[in-house]
Structures are given as structure tokens and as C-alpha cells.
């Protein structure tokens, strides 16, 4: 919930501005107060009266209004909030933010603020994929600006692709996560806790050249490791072959095969929480060839005998003095997602399963977003589509809460 939180919503000029009205309503429902800055272009799509009626607060837009400056100067306006949200964030306002311009009230407020900023991009697919926009986004991310979206989908320009603004409930979830992160940062609720995270695919050698693997990018697992570290945990990340950068403040152990991944996990020692996000190959070659398998003219393809790989999640979940207090597995499925995840949790003996659909149409493998279902002994939580970083922060927050409650229960015994 967002009770008592102050949101400054900047509405820029784009057809997606109509979603800002629903966003205000949902934020108010959760107890937040909302104050709006409406750009001149934004006023072509929504009216100040609509924003004012829903926010029940004055709407600001004129940089040089004597009344506004005397009542709430732009510097104070930029700082009298817990979070600034730009929705929709057009290519134009992202470019102005990256360049540090202050040519209207919205840009000036963003330049003058000392509070966190979240943007929800919305633009034509070609504008989003243009090299200039990509550069601007990278600059803003390096400065700590939070992003939610954009989504893939049909747009008002009759084109389809990335550039569609996230839905209001997705933006609200990102706001809750970002404000939760701000609250938790000074407290470091996982300080003193040790965490193990597995990430990425494994590669199972057929010969010195070829291997069995999968499409996992490691983005979700690496994001989880980063989120746990941000909340104060001492994190060891055991990673298969990936191209994503190592998270800051995390000890990384690189492996290739499932056997190597299990050995690295066991070598980590006793941990408080284990998150098995890696897409571990179920099988390996029973007898990998010592030399490259040669193709011979007219000969049939060689037969491939497979053997099962070690079950890392089940191994870490076994009862015993070294079992983590919380073991979280992942279920990557293409059908019967929740039912298979419930069954997997029981079979493996883990505490939670994070289930996600990895069918090619979802774009989960290698993509920037994920839609997950958290399966526990208490039931199933269906999370909205979120950026993988937001999934990671939400999961890290839940882990911190669980460990804190478990610690209180243990102390009371």
C-alpha cells in the first residue's frame, strides 16, 4: 500500500496520456496523494480539469506563473514528493531528461529534484528502437532513473511492437516496488543474511565442440541476485554462460555444466536463502566424446545416449542442518503452468516456486519482462506483468519479510 506517499505525476504529450487518469485513480485507491504536472503537449490529450478532479489537487503547467511560483515554486514542487513519475514518457521528454534541459516546467522539475524518478515510456516502435532513444535510455538508467515498460502491442499508429505504455496496474506495482526499495535501503533488512542464487543456462558437452543448452539469458536470476544484495544480503551468484554483466556487490562463480553448478552451490556452505533461478539442463550426454564427432558421408547420424543431470533444487531442499531456511525454485513451463508448478514444489521439497511461462510467444527467455506466479504452501499469488528488475525486487522484499517473520517466530519459542 502507498498510504501517505506523495507522487508527482508528470503527464507528457502522447495518446497514452489517457492512461494517466486511471493511474491517478489506482494510486489514490492505495492511499497515495497525487499532484500533477501537465505539459503543453500533454494538454492536447487530457485536460487539466480531468487531472484535477481525480487527484483533488492543483494541476501545474506554466513555468512562469506568478501565482504558482508564489504558492509552490518549481524547486519546491520538484522536492515535495516521495517519487516523481513520468507517464507517458515520450521520446521527446526522455531526450530532454538525458540532455539535462530545463525548457518547460516538467523538464525543470525533473532536473531540480532530489527524489527518485520512474518513467513509463510510450512512443512509436521506430522511435523506441531508434539509436538515439536507446542511447538516452542507457544514460538515464546509469543515472538511476527507474523504467517500467514499454510493452509490446498494438499502438494508435496502427503499428505493433515495443513502445506501448505499461498498464496502470503495472506502473502502480513498479511504484510500490521503488518506494519499498527506498524505505528498505537504510534498514538493509537482509543484512547479516547469506544468499545463494543460480542463474542462466547450463551447457552439457556432447564433444569438445557441441553441447546441449537452452535459451535462458540469466537476466532474471542476475536481477534477483542484485536485488538481494541491495537489501543487504551477502550474495553468491552461481551462473551458467551468460552475456549479462555481473551484478555489483555480488560474488560470482561461473560454471558450465549442471555438475559444476551443483558443486559450486554445495561449496558455498550454509546460507539463509537459496533461489534456484537457473534453467538447468535435465539431461547430459551419458558418454561425451573426447574428440569432435565427425560427420561421415552416407553414414546415419550418431545416436545420442542421455543420462539425467543432478537435481540441484531437490538437493538443496533436502531436510538437514545445512538446509537453507528458505529455498525458492523456478518453474519454466509452456503449458499447465500453475498446476505443474504446484506439483514441482511438492516433488522437489522446496518452500516456494516462481512459475513463469516461457513459450516463445511470451518473449520471457531473453526478454526484459516476466509474468510470474508465486506458489507456496499458502496458495498461489498471480503477479502482474513486470520488468524483470521489478520481479526481482518484489521477490527480494518477500524473502526479507519471510525471514524476518521466521526469526520472530523462532525467538518466541
Active site residues: 157
Quote the Cα angle for 242-245-250, to 5°. Answer: 105
List all residues 6 or more positions away from 18 whose beta carbon is below 8 Å from its beta carbon: 45, 46
- Asked if the bond preceding 135 is cis, omega within 30° of 0, the reply is no
C-alpha cell at 63: 513555468
Contact 285, 258 (CB under 8 A): no
Strands 369-370 and 372-376: unpaired
Cβ burial, residue 171 (10 Å; 0-12/13-18/19+): buried
Taking the C-alpha atoms of residue 17 and residue 86, their distance in angstroms, rounded to an integer, is 10
Q: Reduced to 3 states, what is the DSSP secondary structure of residue 302?
A: coil
Structure-block grid coordinates of residue 103: 525548457
Amino acid at each position: 500500500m502507498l498510504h501517505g506517499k506523495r507522487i508527482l505525476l508528470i503527464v507528457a504529450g502522447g495518446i497514452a496520456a489517457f492512461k494517466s487518469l486511471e493511474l491517478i485513480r489506482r494510486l489514490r485507491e492505495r492511499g497515495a496523494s497525487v499532484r500533477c504536472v501537465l505539459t503543453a503537449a500533454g494538454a492536447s490529450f487530457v485536460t487539466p480539469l480531468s487531472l484535477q478532479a481525480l487527484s483533488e489537487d492543483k494541476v501545474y503547467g506554466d513555468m512562469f506563473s506568478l501565482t504558482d511560483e508564489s504558492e509552490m515554486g518549481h524547486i519546491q514542487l520538484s522536492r515535495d514528493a516521495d517519487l516523481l513519475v513520468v507517464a507517458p514518457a515520450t521520446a521527446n521528454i526522455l531526450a530532454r531528461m538525458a540532455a539535462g534541459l530545463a525548457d518547460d516546467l516538467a523538464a525543470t522539475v525533473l532536473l531540480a529534484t532530489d527524489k527518485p524518478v520512474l518513467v513509463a515510456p510510450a512512443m512509436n516502435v521506430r522511435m523506441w528502437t531508434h539509436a538515439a532513444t536507446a542511447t538516452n535510455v542507457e544514460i538515464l538508467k546509469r543515472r538511476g532513473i527507474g523504467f517500467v515498460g514499454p510493452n509490446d502491442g498494438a499502438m494508435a499508429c496502427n503499428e505493433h511492437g515495443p513502445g506501448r505504455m505499461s498498464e496502470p496496474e503495472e506502473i502502480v506495482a513498479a511504484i510500490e516496488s521503488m518506494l519499498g526499495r527506498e524505505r528498505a535501503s537504510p534498514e538493509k533488512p537482509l543484512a547479516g543474511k547469506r544468499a545463494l542464487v543460480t542463474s542462466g543456462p547450463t551447457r552439457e558437452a556432447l564433444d569438445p565442440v557441441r553441447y546441449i543448452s537452452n535459451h535462458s539469458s540469466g537476466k532474471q536470476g542476475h536481477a534477483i541476485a542484485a536485488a538481494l544484495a541491495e537489501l543487504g544480503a551477502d550474495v553468491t551468484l552461481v551462473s551458467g554462460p551468460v552475456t549479462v554483466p555481473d551484478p555489483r556487490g555480488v560474488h560470482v562463480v561461473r560454471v558450465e555444466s549442471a555438475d559444476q553448478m551443483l558443486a559450486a552451490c554445495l561449496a558455498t556452505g550454509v546460507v539463509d536463502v537459496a533461489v534456484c533461478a537457473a534453467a538447468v539442463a535435465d539431461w547430459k550426454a551419458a558418454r561425451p566424446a573426447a574428440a569432435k564427432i565427425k560427420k561421415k558421408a552416407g553414414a546415419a547420424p550418431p545416436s545420442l545416449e542421455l543420462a539425467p543431470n543432478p537435481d540441484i533444487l531437490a538437493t538443496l531442499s533436502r531436510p538437514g542442518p545445512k538446509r537453507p531456511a528458505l529455498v525458492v525454485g523456478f518453474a519454466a513451463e509452456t503449458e499447465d503452468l500453475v498446476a505443474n508448478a504446484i506439483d514441482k514444489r511438492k516433488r522437489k521439497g522446496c518452500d516456494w516456486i516462481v512459475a513463469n511461462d516461457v513459450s516463445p510467444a511470451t518473449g520471457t527467455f531473453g526478454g526484459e519482462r516476466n509474468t510470474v506466479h508465486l506458489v507456496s504452501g499458502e496458495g498461489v499469488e498471480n503477479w502482474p506483468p513486470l520488468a524483470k528488475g521489478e520481479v526481482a525486487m518484489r521477490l527480494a522484499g518477500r524473502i526479507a519479510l519471510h525471514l524476518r517473520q521466521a526469526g520472530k517466530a523462532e525467538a518466541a519459542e
